[in-house]
Structures are given as C-alpha cells and as structure tokens.
C-alpha cells in the first residue's frame, strides 16, 4: 500500500483557497498546550502552501466534545501556538458554527500567504462524526483545493476528512495529501508491503482483542513477531501455562492457538515472554512504588499478576531486533507509566535505538513511551496516529486516504 496519491507537490496553490485538515488534537492542561508535537508536524505543509502564495484555511478537531461546544475544547490555544511557530498572524474564527458567516467573511477577506484557523470541527457534533453532507459541503464551499494532513484522523470517515472531498471534486478542485500524510504512509506502507528483511514486528499493550487483525496480517508479512505486554498472558495460557492473576481474555484463547499454529505453518518466529515481572497488586496510583519479583513464564504464582516482561525476555527480544533491517513496534511491554514496571519497555526502546534497522513506532502508548523515555530522536519514524497506524498495519484502506486522487 505504498503511496500513489497526489501530494501538495503536485499542485500550485498560488491565489487559491486551500483547506487543510490538520491533526491539532493536542493535550491541554488549564488551557495551555502540554505537547505541541502535532502542531509542529503540520508546519512543513502549511509553509509550502504559504510560499506558493496560497490562502491557507486550517481545520481540525480537538478532544471528543461529548457535551457540545465549549471553551475548554476551543482551538484558541492552538491558534496562539501556531502564530508563535509560524511567526505570522493566524486569524482564528472562534464561531462555534465552524463554517458560518464569520468563517465565510474571514475567508473572503483573505490575501495570499495569509492563514485562517476554523473552530473545532467536532463542535458540529454528528454532522462531523457521521460525515454529514451539509457540513461537508459548507467546508468545501470555503476552498478550491483540499489537503488532508491529519493521519491521526484518517481512519475515520468524518466530514472534514472524507465528506468534504466529494464536493471539492464536484466543482473541479483537487484533493491531495500533505507532507505528514505522505511520510506516514511511506514509512508504514513500505514497512508492511515492501520491507527490507529481516522484518521484525513487536506488539504489546493490554488487550489481545485490540490487535487481533494486526497479529493476523503481520504474521503473513513479517519474519519474526514478538508479543509482550498484557496481551502475552492470553498466549501463555493458550500454551497451557498457569498465569496467576494476570490479564487474560479467555474468549481469545482459541484465537491465540490458531495464530501460534499459523506462525509454525508459515515458518515464522513467534516470540513470547520466557520470564515475567510479577507483583501481588497493581500499582495505585499507577506510578506508586511496588514490590516485584521476576519468575519464569511457566511459574507465575497463583496469587500474583504479570505486569512487565522479565530480564531474560528483555535480552531475547533485544537480540531479535539486532539482526533486523525493519522493525515496527506498537504497544508497551508492561505498565510503563510505573518506573519499576517500565524496564521491559525501556529495554525494547533501547534495542531499537541501537539497531541499524529502519524503526517505526506505531503511535499511541508506544510513541508516548519512546518520547517520555528520551529515545525519540533515535527512531526512524514515530507515527502521529495510534488508531490509524493500527488499522493501517491491519491492512485496511483508511477512508481519509481512499478519497484522495491517485497520481496519473
């Protein structure tokens, strides 16, 4: 699924109104942005369009907006930070209607190389999340060209991601992807569809259920599949091992058996933890000091639960990564928010930082872990979208990519 989509390099935005769907869903604390990674990631596309002489109209969602429009989920802090990063004025349209009279007027008055930021697209509720025709058309009415640069939202068929493109096409406009989308798809797409081998995939996280299709798809593509995190205990139980109080999904035991049989049939290595860091209790609060011991995976005491991979497993997993040429990692190896239980995740991050392979971190918790632990600059690519990268690794066609024009 390598990218054969039109990109911002295939258009000239001079004098044109360009609607860019960004992913400005940034974490806020008391109205202040605590991590502006996603805003910085959007800058290359925005600057390219401004340099072309385009009129750049930005839109994004922020938060889940469960209780209707509110100032706490307004994009006002984003506008402020964006101004600082771009070094120019950003005209923020604070109207909760998003595409109402205020937005129309702001766009009409735009000159070349100016920036307008619309209000949170989810302030339109189901019109956005259910891909409403009217809202899609209103967004398209503001622009001549549409650019999707929101990989983190591209797995959702929302009005600002998918619906808008139909109306842009209807009036002879173009739909293209931005640099961030291009980079995401190039890394993830090449890793899965055309990897330099050996290709090692590492999956962690708590639930097997979240990764069912990913395991199935990656087993066909990779040479070695490593499974850690909470989901490993369902696999260990499927092997007939006792797992004590560890997290297990009993409804997925047969599935795990099928996957182990599939790995054997395809001649793939499937690595599971050989030892486990266990404790009698789950840490509360999550970063509280905790007493642990390391036991063999076949000897987990009945009154204890596994909360991280053990030391032998750290070495086993690190060893598998050493000879790899491509590594994709999605999901932590344990309760990484706790210093005592972060050792497995740190060991994997360190192994990835030291390998010569192309290393791709699939968003979500593994991205947070790598950034938090200080290994971000050692990775080839850290995805900006957790759910989107997972669906991509499942082999799904993402709605936000499907609607973009192919290169001729």
CB 38 within 8 A of CB 46: no
Considering 80, 137, 207, 378, which one is annotated as catalytic? Answer: 207
Q: What distance in Å separates the CA atoms of residue 149 and residue 131, rounded to the nearest whole number?
A: 18
**Candidate list 178, 229, 306, 364, residue with the active-site label:** 364
Which is it for strands 28-29 and 32-33: parallel, antiparallel or unpaired?
antiparallel
| CB distance 360 to 354 below 8 Å | no
Instruction: Mark whether 87 is an active-site residue.
Output: no
Active site residue 207: yes
387 is catalytic: yes
Answer yes or no: are the C-beta atoms of 277 and 310 closer than 8 Å. Answer: yes
Instruction: Tell me the HSE value of 62 on the side-chain side, using a 13 A CA sphere.
Output: 28
Q: Is 30 left (phi over 0), alpha (psi -120 to 50) or beta?
A: left
Residue of 5, 16, 17, 38 with catalytic role: 38
CA geometry: angle at 244 spanning 239 and 245, to 5°?
Answer: 120
Residues 317-346: b if buried by 16+ CB within 10 A, e if exposed: bbebbeebebbbbbbbbbbbbbebbbbbbb
Host H or E run for residue 351 = helix 343-354
Residues 43 and 56 sit within 8 Å (Cβ to Cβ):
no
Annotated active-site residue in 125, 132, 189, 387: 387
Contact residues for 398 (Cβ-Cβ < 8 A; gap 6+): 154, 155, 388, 391, 392
Q: Could you list the active site residues?
A: 38, 207, 364, 387
């Amino acid at each position: 699924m390598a990218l054969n989509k039109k990109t911002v390099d295939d258009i000239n935005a001079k004098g044109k109104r360009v609607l860019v769907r960004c992913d400005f869903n940034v974490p806020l604390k008391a109205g202040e942005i605590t991590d502006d990674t996603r805003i910085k990631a959007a800058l290359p596309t925005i600057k390219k369009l401004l340099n072309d002489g385009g009129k750049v109209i930005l839109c994004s969602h922020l938060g889940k907006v469960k209780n209707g429009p509110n100032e706490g989920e307004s994009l006002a802090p984003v506008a402020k930070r964006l101004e600082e990063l771009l070094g120019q004025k950003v005209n923020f349209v604070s109207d909760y209607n998003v595409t109402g009279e205020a937005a129309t007027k702001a766009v009409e008055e735009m000159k070349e190389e100016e920036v307008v930021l619309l209000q949170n697209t989810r302030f339109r509720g189901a019109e956005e999340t259910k891909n409403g025709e009217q809202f899609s058309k209103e967004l398209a009415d503001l622009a001549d060209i549409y650019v999707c640069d929101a990989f983190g939202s591209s797995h959702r068929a929302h009005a600002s991601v998918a619906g808008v493109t139909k109306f842009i096409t209807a009036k002879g406009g173009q739909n293209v992807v931005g640099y961030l989308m291009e980079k995401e798809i190039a890394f993830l797409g090449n890793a899965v569809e055309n990897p330099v081998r050996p290709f090692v995939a590492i999956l962690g996280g708590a639930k097997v259920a979240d990764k069912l299709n990913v395991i199935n798809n990656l087993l066909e593509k990779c040479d070695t599949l490593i499974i850690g995190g909470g989901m490993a205990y369902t696999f260990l139980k499927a092997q007939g091992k006792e797992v004590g109080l560890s997290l297990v999904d009993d409804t997925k035991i047969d599935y795990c058996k099928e996957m182990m049989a599939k790995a054997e049939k395809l001649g793939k290595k499937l690595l599971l933890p050989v030892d486990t860091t266990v404790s009698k209790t789950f840490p509360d609060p999550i970063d509280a000091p905790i007493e642990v011991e390391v036991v063999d995976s076949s000897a987990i005491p009945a009154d204890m639960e596994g909360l991280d991979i053990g030391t032998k497993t750290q070495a086993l997993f690190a060893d598998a990564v050493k000879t790899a040429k491509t590594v994709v990692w999605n999901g932590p190896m344990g309760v990484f928010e706790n210093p005592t239980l972060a050792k497995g995740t740190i060991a994997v991050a360190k192994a990835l930082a030291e390998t010569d392979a192309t290393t791709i971190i699939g968003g979500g918790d593994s991205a947070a872990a790598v950034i938090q632990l200080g290994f971000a600059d050692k990775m080839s690519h850290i995805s900006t979208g957790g759910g989107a990268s997972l669906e991509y690794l499942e082999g799904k066609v993402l709605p936000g990519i499907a609607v973009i024009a192919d290169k001729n």
